[in-house]
Amino acid sequence: MKAEGNRCWALVGPTASGKSAVALELAPRHEAEIVSVDSMQVYRGMDVGTAKPTGRERALVPHHMIDVLEPEERCNVARFRRMAAGCIRDIQERGRRPLLVGGGAMYLKGLLWGLMDAPPRDPELRRRLRREYETLGKAALHARLARLDSEAAERIHPNDVQRLVRALEVCELTGEPMSRRQGQFDGEPAVDHVMVGLRRPRQQLYERINQRVDRMMEQGLLEEVRRLRPRLGPQAAQAVGYKELVGALEGRMSLEEAVRLIKRNSRRYARHQMTWFRHFPRLRWIAVEAEDTPAAVAARCERVFRQSPA
């Protein structure tokens, strides 16, 4: 089916909501290529734990922004945006449609609306804040952020040290909440797009998360983490699934406890994603039930994508 133009389509939702399966139904029918919007699928070797598409799936539909960095490297919104924007331009120049797929809300926000107007990083201040994170604890720093910027604290999980430190850094450097500077949503997006989100009942989503973690363990996640452990940089090492299993490999917890924490932290991450997505304009949600097939959900997404005015 020929696409009417090649405007970006974005398919979003929390982890385990079924985005990838639906995207694989949509892309072949619309001459689309998938651009992954995931902060961890960018890393080579982190395959099982990030639920990367298989080789067969990548052969079926071209995928971009997967395996573009080594696990030792850092990735931030600016770097991701620069690389992903290049992928989008290339896809559109070839007359095909970019289909953005993922749950990386902060990366997606930066890609579609542009970067926040914020001061450059202050290495000394960041070192101090990280020391306080280690000594005072994540709860204390998150409570401080809640006092300074309640909107940012709502979106940032206490375990997300990188974003927590950055939010406090901006508050200290500017004397105002970081959320006040996050005005990307106030104007027109930098990238023209239509966005659809998949939303499942909470208990159903949690069951899917638990089942997916069990499958990952069966598929060799522990062996993957053991192999990658010497190469995991500060950012990759914080990925859910990897952080907990590193703890098990280092003897700080049992394997059973690590798996329990992966499930719990994945559920927390899903809630965190939904908090982010609540702030997205132009996002139209589709309710998905357990009996819905990927093909049926894709057909409903297609109607929304095609009916949205240009």
Mean pLDDT of 84-109: 95
Question: Alpha-carbon torsion 52, 55, 56, 61, what sign?
Answer: positive
Dihedral (Cα; 25, 67, 161, 187), 10-degree rounding: -60
Write down the pLDDT at residue 309. 63
Maximum pairwise Cα distance, the chain: 58
Tokens 């040290």 belong to 161
Mean pLDDT of 116-138: 82
Structure tokens at 169: 């850094």
Is the pLDDT reported for residue 4 higher than 60? Answer: no
> Which of the four pLDDT bands, split at 50, 70 and 90, describes residue 187?
low
Model confidence, pTM: 0.81
Is the pLDDT reported for residue 115 higher than 80? Answer: no
22 exposure class (CB count in 10 Å sphere: 0-12, 13-18, 19+): buried
If one compares 169 and 237, the residue with the highest pLDDT of the two is 237
Q: Give the C-alpha separation, 197 to 131, whole Å.
A: 38
Whether the CB-CB separation of 106 and 84 falls below 8 Å is answered with no
Whether the CB-CB separation of 288 and 201 falls below 8 Å is answered with no
If one compares 64 and 189, the residue with the highest pLDDT of the two is 64
Is the pLDDT reported for residue 185 higher than 60? Answer: no
Is the pLDDT reported for residue 274 higher than 80? Answer: yes
Q: Which long-range contacts (CB under 8 A, 24 or more apart) does 255-263 make?
A: 255/222, 259/213, 259/214, 259/217, 262/213, 263/209, 263/210, 263/213
DSSP state, residue 192: -
The secondary structure of 7-58 as a DSSP string is: -EEEEE-STTSSHHHHHHHHHHHTTEEEEE--TTTTBTT--TTTTPPPHHHH
pLDDT digits (tens, 9 = 90+) for 156-168: 888 788 788 888 8
Structural domains in the chain, CATH included, are: 8-115+191-220+274-307 (3.40.50.300), 123-181 (1.10.20.140)
pLDDT digits (tens, 9 = 90+) for 7-36: 999 999 999 999 999 999 999 999 999 999
> Which of the four pLDDT bands, split at 50, 70 and 90, describes residue 3?
very low
Q: Convert 86-104 to b/e letters by CB count within 10 Å (16 or more is b).
A: ebbeebbeeebbbbbbbbb
pLDDT digits (tens, 9 = 90+) for 97-109: 999 999 999 899 9
Interhelix angle 242-249/221-228, rounded to 10 degrees, is 80
Q: How far is CA 99 from CA 10, 117, 203, in A?
A: 6, 27, 28
Q: Give the C-alpha separation, 65 to 201, whole Å.
A: 29
If one compares 13 and 152, the residue with the highest pLDDT of the two is 13
Structure tokens at 291: 């009996």
The chain-wide mean pLDDT, for the chain, equals 90
